[in-house]
Structure 1
Amino acid sequence: MEIINEKKPEVKIVGTLNGHTGCIYAVDRGLYANTIFTGGSDDFIAQWNLDTLQGEKFATSFAAHLYAICHIPEKKLLLAGTTDGNIHIIDTDQKKEIRILKYHRGPVFDIKYCLETNCFYTAGGDGNFAVCSLDSLSLIKVITLCGEKLRSIDFNYHASEIAIAMGSCDIFILDLFTLQLKYGFIAHRLSANIVRYTPGGKFLLSGGRDAHLNIWETGNYSLVKSIAAHNWAIYDIAFSPDGALFATASRDKTVKIWDTKTFGLIKRISKEHLTGHTHSVNKLLWSAFNDYLISVGDDKEVIIRQLIYE
């Protein structure tokens, strides 16, 4: 049973961005602090201005649906992972595609980068985890981790670890530099969909198709708490810029706000309450720009919210 924390901010709807004609599966930071990128089943990436709530002149189309977007501002690159297994690399200065990497045999579900290793990493529907150079933009290594989809990647820089959520219900923890397996454990009764380390790296949060939010202590990855957080699969977790709060997104059409210290529920956002999504919520971005919480979903909408404390 959910226990709602006494700390109850008001949720203000800043705006809803409409322009996509298909489900939206991906969102990331844009070229500037006040912009974001979104992409999905209509096969293109759009950039939005959070000040004007209008689209910017940066639209890139593809031959397949997008599941993952990774903006790398330090390298002036934008990476897009598509359902045909391709990684499209876009030069953000030139605003054009400069390379396509083809090494996955299934959809690309996540892309993350690490400046410490000077690499980017991809999680594929073929069960493969791949490492590529940020300098040469070429493949370094592919590791087959399981026979199911790989869904999510996150880094714990405090312990030099990579967490990977898998459709086999497992989470694997690899060494960031050697890529050796350090821990492997069954994390959910159904597919493990999302992994996120808390700021400071003390805990790993995971969300699964079983609708549970699980909290793991990173010292030995023992289970600290398991919360029946949603009614359907959890697809994403995002921390507020100050790390005090985090949000979860679910196929049950809701976004929930939680306290990072207590893991207590603070707010439930739904269509019936606080103008939520009408369909599955697929991805979140908690922007440092005005502390905007941005959610995207199957209803083709980008919803921007702000938490207000009286």
Structure 2
Amino acid sequence: MEAVKKKNIRFEVIAALKGHTGCIYALDRGLSDHSVFTGGSDQFIAHWDLESFRAEKFATSFTAHLYSICHIYEKQLLLAGTTDGSIHIIDIAQKKEVRILKYHLGPVFDIKYSLKTNCFYTAGGDGNFAICSLDSLSLVKIKKLCAEKARSIDFNYDTSEIAVALGSGDVFIFDLFSLQVKYGFIAHRLSSNIVRYSPDGKFLLSGGRDAYLNIWETKNYTRVKSIAAHNWAIYDIAYSPDATLFATGSRDKTIKIWDAWNFEFLKRIRKEACTGHSHSVNKLLWGPFHNYLVSVGDDREVMIRSSI
């Protein structure tokens, strides 16, 4: 019955929220389980309430496009990475910018943090991967990984590892604490855009500009499956709260839903049939509040869906 249910899974559009005047590139959880932060080329961060479907301008002092947002809930900080290489650090309680870090020479494509190391990590268009202290809010170490862009970061706490996706097509796996390289492999023919560990830590999923979704087991990072998943580049991957499904978002304007156990394709969400995005899908967030799948893209909309 479960297999039949999954194959017949449907998604209902709850809302298509408008307010941004430019492409939306950044998305992260908000101040509660029923809110999200978004940012993009219009140079402001919005905070959306997923109950009332209303938004407020949370921060507006940026002079460059926003490519990444990281809400550090435990520290009451919001980090925003921009196209000019800056990382803006905002005190959430005061809604006030407390610091700007500038060590990247290209766009900041991803920001992630770890309480286990008390650090946050950034991936830049200059090919650099950087580590900063959450206490001092300053740079600890920076590594040049390639001549192309560093695109995406994710953690596997089961193996104490960090994965970094690179524009060269490579993926590097670092030890979480020593930052020594444990593995390095070519994941995609073109740029590796996104890496995402499965919630149980057994697999690493990678999506590339070659439109392939590749599955790697994390014992020695052997590829177990390669799927021609989309027509254009894959930009993001998000697991459902119960870890039974995951979604991929692509430049081909679609979102696809997959079975997390056997990686079987289940559903395509597109504009013509499912009120999908009219342009590139850039970011996904699948949160616990009503099982909402939130997506943003170049069409300037924040779309909210629920599986039924």
Which residue does the alignment assign to 1:158? 158
Q: Work out whether residues 5 and 265 of structure 1, in 8 Å CA contact, stay in contact via their aligned partners in 2.
A: no
Residues 172-220 of structure 1, C-alpha deviation per residue, up to 9 Å, x if partnerless? 0000000000000000011000000001110000000000000001001
Partners of 2:58 and 2:141 in 1: CA distance: 32
Q: Work out whether residues 191 and 208 of structure 1, in 8 Å CA contact, stay in contact via their aligned partners in 2.
A: yes
Task: List runs of 5+ in structure 1 lacking aligned partners.
Answer: none
The 1:34–1:191 alpha-carbon spacing in structure 2 relative to 1, beyond 3 Å, is: same
Displacement of 1:57 in angstroms is: 5.4
Partners of 2:292 and 2:300 in 1: CA distance: 19
Partners of 2:21 and 2:281 in 1: CA distance: 16
Which residue does the alignment assign to 2:103? 103
Task: List runs of 5+ in structure 2 lacking aligned partners.
Answer: none
Partners of 2:196 and 2:77 in 1: CA distance: 23
Query: TM-score by structure 1 length?
Result: 0.97
Q: Work out whether residues 238 and 286 of structure 2, in 8 Å CA contact, stay in contact via their aligned partners in 1.
A: yes
Displacement of 1:271 in angstroms is: 0.6
Displacement of 1:34 in angstroms is: 1.1
Which residue does the alignment assign to 2:267? 267
Q: Work out whether residues 202 and 218 of structure 2, in 8 Å CA contact, stay in contact via their aligned partners in 1.
A: yes
Residues 97-128 of structure 1, C-alpha deviation per residue, up to 9 Å, x if partnerless? 00000100000000000000000000000010
**Runs of 4+ with >3 A deviation:** none
Q: Work out whether residues 244 and 259 of structure 2, in 8 Å CA contact, stay in contact via their aligned partners in 1.
A: yes
Partners of 1:235 and 1:303 in 2: CA distance: 16
Partners of 1:285 and 1:48 in 2: CA distance: 13
Partners of 2:300 and 2:6 in 1: CA distance: 33
Displacement of 1:8 in angstroms is: 1.7
SS of the equivalent of 1:111 reads strand
Q: What value does the CA root-mean-square deviation take over the aligned residues? A: 1.1
1:171 paired to 2:210:
no
Partners of 1:258 and 1:270 in 2: CA distance: 15
Which residue does the alignment assign to 2:58? 58
Which residue does the alignment assign to 1:255? 255
Displacement of 1:288 in angstroms is: 1.2
Q: How does 1:183-198 map to 2 (within 5 A)?
A: 183-198=183-198
Partners of 2:122 and 2:48 in 1: CA distance: 25
1:92 paired to 2:97:
no
Identity rate, percent = 72
Q: Work out whether residues 149 and 166 of structure 1, in 8 Å CA contact, stay in contact via their aligned partners in 2.
A: yes
Partners of 2:107 and 2:302 in 1: CA distance: 23
Which residue does the alignment assign to 1:220? 220
SS of the equivalent of 2:273 reads coil
Partners of 2:230 and 2:5 in 1: CA distance: 16
